[in-house]
Amino acid sequence: MKIATFNINGIKARLPRLKEWLAETRPTVACLQEIKSQDDGFPADEFAELGYEAIWHGQKSFNGVAILVDGSKPVEIKRGLGIDGPKDGEGEQSRYIEADVDGVRVVCIYLPNGNPHPGPKFDYKLAWMEKLRARMAEIWAEEIPCAVVGDFNVIPHDDDVWSPKAMASDALMQPESRDAYSRLLADGWTDAVRTLNPRGGVWTYWDYQAGAWQRDHGFRIDHILLTPELADRLEAVGVDRDHRGREKASDHAPVWARIRD
C-alpha cells in the first residue's frame, strides 16, 4: 500500500497536474489538502475515470480536504474535529477527514498555518493541535493501524528548513508549534519521512515567491505519522519533487510512504 499526501492549492486550478500525478505514480491512497472547493464543485467524475473513488470535506474559497482511493470507496469515519475557526461565529473550517481503507485508518489533515504569530490565528493552531492529539489518542487506544497524513504546517527541526534564520519568526517553527508536534511523536507515532531520512534536508514545500524553487529554498511541513504496526511495515518514503517543477504546479510536492502488505 502506497499512501500519499499532496497539498494541491486549489483543485480547479490543479486538476490537469493532479490527474497527471495520479496516473504517473498511482498511489493506493491520495490525501489532498487545500482543495479550495465547495462540496458541489468537487470533480469526483474526473477521478473515477482514473479508477479512484473519493470522499471530501469542502469549503468555499479556502481549506478543504479529500481522500482518494484506487479501486475502492473510502469508508468515512469522521469529518471535522469539532473546533470553530478563529473568527467569531464562523464555525468549523474544513480541515479534517478520516476514513477506513482496506483495514487501515487514514486521517487526512490540513493543520492551521498560524501566522501571524503571536495572535488569534496562532492560538487557533495550537488549540487545533491539541484537538488532533486527543483524536489520535482515541485511535491509538483502539489499536487500529493508522496513518495520519497531511499538511501539518510545522517544521519539526532546524534541519527541515533551508534557513532556520530566515524562518525564525514564522508560526511554522515556533517552539510551541514544534513542542505540540513533538508530543505526537512522544505519544508513540512515527514520522515516516524523518525515520528514513534522520539527517533532515528533505523539503516538501517551496514558496512561489523570490525564486524559492530555483534556489531550493524549501522546508518540510507535509508529514506522514504511523502507528507502530504500520511503522514496522514501512518500506520506503519519497517526495515527488519533479511535480513541483512543472508548469502550473502547487507550491507543495506530493509526499508518500510505501507500506508492506
Partner DNA sequence: ATGGCAGGAAGGTCCTGA
Say if residue 76 carries a ligand binding annotation: no
10 contributes a contact to DNA by CB under 7 A? yes
| Residues in contact with 240: Cβ distance below 8 Å, sequence separation at least 6, in sequence order | 21, 25, 253, 254, 255, 256
Q: Which of 3, 6, 18, 37 binds DNA (CB under 7 A)?
A: 37
Site string for DNA, 148-177 (x = CB under 7 A): ---x-x---------------xx-x-----
**CB closer to DNA out of 35 and 147:** 35
Q: Which of 115, 182, 195, 197 binds DNA (CB under 7 A)?
A: 115
Q: Which of 5, 21, 28, 36 binds DNA (CB under 7 A)?
A: 36
Q: Which region, judged by CB under 7 A, interacts with DNA, from 10-18, 49-57, 72-80, 129-137?
A: 10-18
| Shortest reach from residue 221's CB to DNA, in Å | 6
Beta pairing class for 190-191 and 146-151? unpaired
Beta partners for 7?
A: 33
Distance between CA atoms of 202 and 219, rounded to whole angstroms? Answer: 7
Q: Which region, judged by CB under 7 A, interacts with DNA, from 60-68, 126-134, 191-199, 231-239?
A: 60-68
Say if residue 197 carries a ligand binding annotation: no
Please list the active-site residues. 110, 151, 252
Residues 82-101 that bind DNA (CB under 7 A): none
**CB closer to DNA out of 193 and 221:** 221
121 contributes a contact to DNA by CB under 7 A? yes
Whole-angstrom CA distances from 82 to 6, 46, 96, 132 are: 24, 31, 10, 10
| Residues in contact with 87: Cβ distance below 8 Å, sequence separation at least 6, in sequence order | 120
Alpha-carbon dihedral sign for residues 149, 152, 157, 159: positive
Residues 192-251 that bind DNA (CB under 7 A): 205, 207-210, 219, 221, 248, 251
Say if residue 217 carries a ligand binding annotation: no
Helices 175-186 and 120-141, packing angle to 10 deg:
0
| Shortest reach from residue 246's CB to DNA, in Å | 11
Cell of 109: 489533515
Say if residue 251 carries a ligand binding annotation: yes
Q: Which of 16, 20, 48, 60 binds DNA (CB under 7 A)?
A: 60
Biggest CA-to-CA distance, the chain: 46
| Residues in contact with 126: Cβ distance below 8 Å, sequence separation at least 6, in sequence order | 114, 176, 177, 180
Phi, psi (deg, nearest 5) at residue 166: -65, -30
Beta partners for 252?
A: 205
Which chain residues interact with DNA by CB under 7 A? Answer: 7, 9-14, 34, 36-38, 41, 60-62, 112-113, 115, 121, 151, 153, 169-170, 172, 205, 207-210, 219, 221, 248, 251
Binding site for Mg(2+): residue ranges?
A: 7, 34, 151, 153, 251-252
